[in-house]
Structure 1
C-alpha cells in the first residue's frame, strides 16, 4: 500500500489505518464449503454456549464451534500465539482490549466490507468501538448505559439534594462531610472516572492527523474533568476503597458511609445479592452532567467482538457476530437463569425489551419504577468521541500510576495531565510514530 494512501501511521509491528478499500489483514474467500456448512471457531471465556446453540439451531450454511477459554489472559495469550504461528486461528474471539491497540499488534482482520452494509442494525454510538479510521476490525458490541445510584435514605437523612451536575456532587460532598459520609469512591488503581468524565464532556486524548497522531491531554474537556476531581480530592469528599478486594468494597458501600455510585446494568445484580443493610435504600438517577452542558450525555465507549487476522471466513464470521449483537434471538439467548437477566444489548438501537430484566427487585425499593426511564435515557444519550491511540496499553499503565498519586494528593490532577502528555508523546516518538505538533 503506498505510504501516501494512509491517514495514520504504523505503531509497533503493524497499525494499518487505510484510507482506501485495500485491507491490511488476511484475505477471505467468502465462499462456503462444498462439503457442508462453514465452521466458525469462537473463543470466549464467558458462558456463550446457549448463544452458539441458538445460532446453530437457526442457521444451516454456517455453524459455530465454541472453544471455551479459561479467562481473559488465557484468551489473549492464545490468540497472540495463534496469529504469530499462522495456524489454529479462530474467526471470532471475546474482546480483551481496545481495537486500535490490538490492530497495532497485527491481531485483527479488516471486515469493513461486511459491516458497512449492516451499520443501520447497530446503535450509532456503538460503531466506533470496532473502528480504526472508519474501517471495522471487529463486530460492534457497544457498552452498558452509565447512570448513578444514590443512597437516597442517607441523602434525605442529612437534607442534601440529589446532585444533577458534577458541581452539585462537590456541593453534596461538602454537606455530607461533617456527618462522616463521603460522596463518592475513587479507587486508587482505577482511573476510569477520569476517562469517563473526559468522554462525557466530548473529549479525547488522541486524534489522527494525516500521517501523524495528535496528543492532547490538556484539552478543555480534560482540564474541566481534572478540576472536578481536584475539588473532590482536595476537600476530602471521596473514599479510596480498592476494587481488588471486592467483598470488602461491597461491604463498605453497604455501610451508608459512601452514598453515590456511577454504575451500569451489569453491576446491579451484584449489589442486589450482597447489600444487606442498605437494600431498598438506593435510587437510580441520571448521571450528573457538566455545568452548562447543552446536551445530556453519558460516556459510551464501546467494544467489539474480535475478528482475528488469519480467519479464512471473514464474511461468515461477520454474519455470526452481527446476528449475536443485533437480533432478538441473539440477545434472548444470553438469558442467565441465576440472575434472571440478559447480557446488556449495547449494540441494539432499542434495548427497551430487556431493561426490566436488568433491574433487580429489591435494590431500589420504592424507586424501582424509576430505573427503566433512567437506564433508557442513559442508553440513548451515549456519546463516544474517544479515540484509542496505538500505544494506549502502555499509556494506561502509566495513567494508573499517575492516578494513584493524584487521588492521594502527591501530585495534582493538572500535573497528571501534563505528565501524561509528555509520557505519551515521548513514547510514540520512541516507537517511531509521527506526532503532530
Structure 2
C-alpha cells in the first residue's frame, strides 16, 4: 500500500492501524421484517439462565444460547466463521482485548447503539469496549481489586497492615526472618506488573496522530518496576506457579505467604479450599503508590463482543446492554452452589450484590468490613490501559521476560527495555505505523 494511502487508512479507521490485512467493520443493521429477531450468543460460561430471563421478558428479540467448550474453542470458532463468511454469531463472550480483535477485522462498530446507553454504565467500564471513542462491544467492566492479608500472621510478628507499596516492601523485610513471604509472583503471570502500571495511570500503547506510540519506559512503568525489583532483590516474594492450582492454594493455606491482591471472583475458591487459615484473612484496601494524590485500583475492563458479519448489531447491542446493566440480568446469574452472582462490573452501583460475593467464613471476624473495602475498590477503578494490535504476541514475549525478571536473571528495568524494542520492531515488521 502506498504511504499516502496507508496514512489515510490510519486516520480514517482509527486504531485499525495495521496495513492491508486489517478490515474495520461498517455493518448495517438488517432487521427481520416479521417476528422476533433471533440473536445467537456464544459463551463458555453457564449463561442459559440469563438467556432464559431475557427471552421471558422480551418479545421483539429472542436469544439462542450456543454453549462453547472453552475460551480457545470459542476464539477458533469465530475466526473460522469469519473466514467462511457464514454462521457468524451476533454476541460472544470475550476472548481477547478489543483493539487486538478489531485489528483482525472481527468486530462490528456498535457506537450508534451504545452511545445512548452510556449513562447506564460505570464510566471506567466504558474504556475496555472502545477504540478511539468508538464502541466495538458492550462494556462488561471488571471485578474490584483489593488485597487480603493473613492478619493472624501479621499480628503474630507485629507487622503493620500495609497502606502503600513501600509498606508492603517493609512488611516483607519484617516477615522474611520468620520464613514468611509477603507476596507471590508467579513466573508465568506478569499481571502484577500490568496492574501496577494501570493503577499508577500508565499504559504502554497510545495513539499519536495516525501512528501508535509505544512507551514501556514511562514514569508509571519505571515506578512499578522499582517496586517489583525491591521485592525480588530482597527475596521477599514466592514464585509459586498458578498452573498447579491445588498446590498453589495449599501453599497459601500454609501461612508462608500472607498478602494476596485479589478480586471477588476468587473468594469462593479460597473459602472452599483453605483449611488451616480459614477465618484468618482480612480484606484491606489495595496498597497505593507513595505520594499518590487519589486512591485508585486497576480496572482494565473488557466487552461482550458483537462480531463483524452479525446481521442484527442493533438488537445484539440491546441484549448485551440488558445483560450488563439490568437488575434482572445480574440477578439471573445467581449460582446456587456458591450463593453469589457474576460480578456486575459495568454497573455504577454494584452494592446490592456485594454481600453475596463475600464468603461467610473466609474473613472470620473481619467479614463485616469486606463490603466497604469492595465498594471502595469498585468506585475507585481506573482504566488507562490501551492494548495495541500486536498485543497477543507482545504478551507472550512479556511472559518470557517476566519469568527471567522474577528469577533475577534480568532486572525489571531490562524487561521494560527489551519489551520496548520487541514491540516497536514487531509493529514495524507488520507494516504498522509506530513512533517511540
What's the counterpart of residue 41 of structure 2?
42
Displacement of 1:184 after TM fit?
0.1
Shift in alpha-carbon separation, 1:152–1:43, aligned structure 2, 3 A: same
Counterpart Cα distance in 1 of 2:25 and 2:62: 23
What's the counterpart of residue 17 of structure 2?
10
Displacement of 1:400 after TM fit?
0.1
Q: Deviations over 1:238-274 (max 9, x none)?
A: 0000000000000000000000000000000000000
**Residue 138 of structure 2 aligns to a residue in which SS?**
strand
Counterpart contact for 1:6–1:211, Cα < 8 Å: no
Alignment of 1:26-105 (within 5 A): 26-31=26-31, 33-105=32-104
What's the counterpart of residue 243 of structure 2?
244
Q: Deviations over 1:142-177 (max 9, x none)?
A: 000000000000000000001000000000000000
Counterpart Cα distance in 2 of 1:109 and 1:347: 20
Counterpart contact for 2:130–2:137, Cα < 8 Å: yes
Counterpart Cα distance in 2 of 1:340 and 1:234: 42
Displacement of 1:12 after TM fit?
6.1
Counterpart contact for 1:8–1:210, Cα < 8 Å: no
Displacement of 1:82 after TM fit?
0.3
Q: Which runs of 5+ in 1 are unaligned?
A: 17-23
Shift in alpha-carbon separation, 1:28–1:104, aligned structure 2, 3 A: same
TM-score w.r.t. the length of structure 2 is 0.97
Displacement of 1:369 after TM fit?
0.2
Counterpart Cα distance in 1 of 2:211 and 2:16: 6
Q: Which runs of 5+ in 2 are unaligned?
A: none
Counterpart Cα distance in 1 of 2:43 and 2:386: 25
**Residue 427 of structure 1 aligns to a residue in which SS?**
helix
Counterpart contact for 1:13–1:104, Cα < 8 Å: no
Counterpart Cα distance in 2 of 1:13 and 1:121: 37
Counterpart Cα distance in 2 of 1:328 and 1:10: 38
What's the counterpart of residue 310 of structure 2?
311
What's the counterpart of residue 129 of structure 2?
130
Alignment of 1:125-204 (within 5 A): 125-204=124-203
**Residue 66 of structure 1 aligns to a residue in which SS?**
strand
Which stretch shifts more, 328-337 or 2-11? 2-11
Shift in alpha-carbon separation, 1:339–1:247, aligned structure 2, 3 A: same
Counterpart contact for 2:16–2:102, Cα < 8 Å: no
Counterpart Cα distance in 2 of 1:30 and 1:147: 44
Displacement of 1:425 after TM fit?
0.3
What's the counterpart of residue 408 of structure 2?
409
Counterpart Cα distance in 2 of 1:8 and 1:181: 46
What's the counterpart of residue 263 of structure 2?
264
Displacement of 1:29 after TM fit?
2.8
Alignment of 1:368-387 (within 5 A): 368-387=367-386
What's the counterpart of residue 25 of structure 1?
25
Displacement of 1:346 after TM fit?
0.1
TM-score w.r.t. the length of structure 1 is 0.97
Counterpart Cα distance in 2 of 1:122 and 1:106: 26
Counterpart contact for 2:153–2:258, Cα < 8 Å: yes
Counterpart contact for 2:14–2:131, Cα < 8 Å: no
Shift in alpha-carbon separation, 1:122–1:30, aligned structure 2, 3 A: farther
- Does residue 302 of the first structure (1) align with residue 301 of the second (2)? yes
Counterpart Cα distance in 1 of 2:252 and 2:13: 49
Q: Deviations over 1:188-246 (max 9, x none)?
A: 00000000000000000000111101000000000000000000000000000000000
Counterpart Cα distance in 1 of 2:374 and 2:15: 37
Counterpart Cα distance in 2 of 1:101 and 1:12: 14
Q: Deviations over 1:296-325 (max 9, x none)?
A: 000000010010000000000000000000
Counterpart Cα distance in 2 of 1:341 and 1:417: 39
Counterpart Cα distance in 2 of 1:67 and 1:390: 28
Counterpart contact for 1:399–1:420, Cα < 8 Å: yes
